[in-house]
Structure 1
Amino acid sequence: MSGETIATMQWRALDRDGEDKCRLARLGAGWMLVGHARFRDGTGWAALDYVVRTDGDWRTTSADISGEYGGGAVGWRLLRDPTGTWQLNDTAQPQLDGAEDVDLGFTPATNLMPLRRLPEVGRLSTRAAWLRLPGPQVGILTQSYTRERGGLVAYEARESGYRTHLAVDAQGFVTTYPGLWEAAS
């Protein structure tokens, strides 16, 4: 399951104590993100490991999250079958049907998938299976990405009302997520 490493990224949180680091690897005909997020929120310290798998077109096929959160062990698995139907820990999630991506609300790593599909000139709209904490809570997050000059991408998440400009590197990783994350040196 290790795959050939293509790139790595590390961020530090700007809105709380925390860090995140991940590795992008080629895995068969698709891709895999393997990451480790450590942060403090209202429940205390969290240590979450995640593995996100995509097909060759950068659409999420599964996401596994495990570790410690809210004072206890957690283990969540989001799975999208070829018809676009989602499950969380083997329980159908019809509200997520048709989502192409996963957005793990505790890391900037999962912006990579839509950013890799974003054309050099233009815009991409997508629906993500949005996993938020505490919970987990899962729902749809409708996102739009518009490439601008200077490595910037205008980003909007409809359901949260969030809008910003993301700085993005050549691999497609966010390097600056204003007020939330920045790449660590």
Structure 2
Amino acid sequence: MSGETVATIHWRALDRDGEDKCRLARLDQGWMLVGHARFRDATGWAALDYVIRVGADWCTTSADITGDYGGDAVALRLARGEDGWTVNEALRPDLAGAEDVDLAFTPATNLMPLNRVPEVGRLETTSAWLRFPGPQVTPLTQAYTRERGGLVRYEAQETEFETHLSVDTHGFVTRYPGLWEADV
């Protein structure tokens, strides 16, 4: 990985066996996240590595996900270009307007919208949401609202999921109730 490392984080899963290690690097024209998620779910063991490129505006430009999920090889590339989003080079008009990727298997991808949330206020955004088994990539409408005590209220419209996230100074989630907790 090139660039200057700004922060690293290690999460442990609370809802299953698993962990994720992630590094945030500053690049000349933006940011890069590099992570390694290892977990076991109902499908079996997964070893997924991800590299996410982010513009200076904290919007995702591309994500590469490789590894193994339940015994199957994974090799995905999500990219946002002038014509919209592609998944493994296939144009995906249903993802029009998405500003980020949300990798359902890690809290790392909350970083981008969390860095765009105003100090006081709310951010509504759409992500290209990748989840397994599948893999499936669909739009996910999200809202982030800063609250007292350093908490951020998170809402996902399509799933009607809501929670309060604890966040560090870099924008990494440190506590995702019931799902992830950072080793600090």
Tell me whether the two structures share a fold, i.e. TM-score over 0.5: yes
Provide the residue aligned with 1:7 in structure 2: 7
Unmatched tracts of structure 1, length 5 or more: none
Q: Give the alignment's Cα RMSD to 1 decimal.
A: 0.9
Number of residue pairs matched by the alignment: 184
Please state how far the C-alpha of 1:16 moved relative to its aligned partner.
0.3
Residue identity matched to 1:173: F
2:183 corresponds to 1:184: yes
**Any idea what the Cα deviations from partners look like across 1:31-56, whole Å, max 9, x if unmatched?**
00000000001111100000000110
Once the two structures are TM-superposed, the CA of residue 82 in structure 1 deviates from its matched residue by: 3.6
* Mapped pair 1:163 → 2:165: no
In 1, the alpha carbon distance for the partners of 2:2 and 2:37 equals 18
Query: Where does structure 1 differ by over 6 angstroms across 4 or more consecutive aligned residues?
Result: none
Matches within 5 A, 1:1-185: 1-83=1-83, 85-185=84-184
SS in structure 1 opposite 2:57?
A: coil
**% identical aligned pairs:** 72
Amino acid at match of 1:18: G
Structure 2 residue matching 1:117: 3-state secondary structure = coil
Letter in 2 for 1:103: D
Q: What is the CA–CA distance in structure 2 between the aligned matches of 1:66 and 1:36, rounded to whole Å?
A: 10
CA distance in 2, matches of 1:106, 1:150: 27
Give, in angstroms, the shift of residue 151 of structure 1.
1.1
Following superposition, the deviation at residue 24 of structure 1 comes to 0.2
Unaligned stretches of 5+ in structure 2? none
Give the whole-Å Cα distance in 2 for the aligned partners of 1:49 and 1:154: 28
Offset of 1:115 from its aligned partner?
0.2
Distance 1:93 1:40 in 2: 29
TM-score by length of 2: 0.98
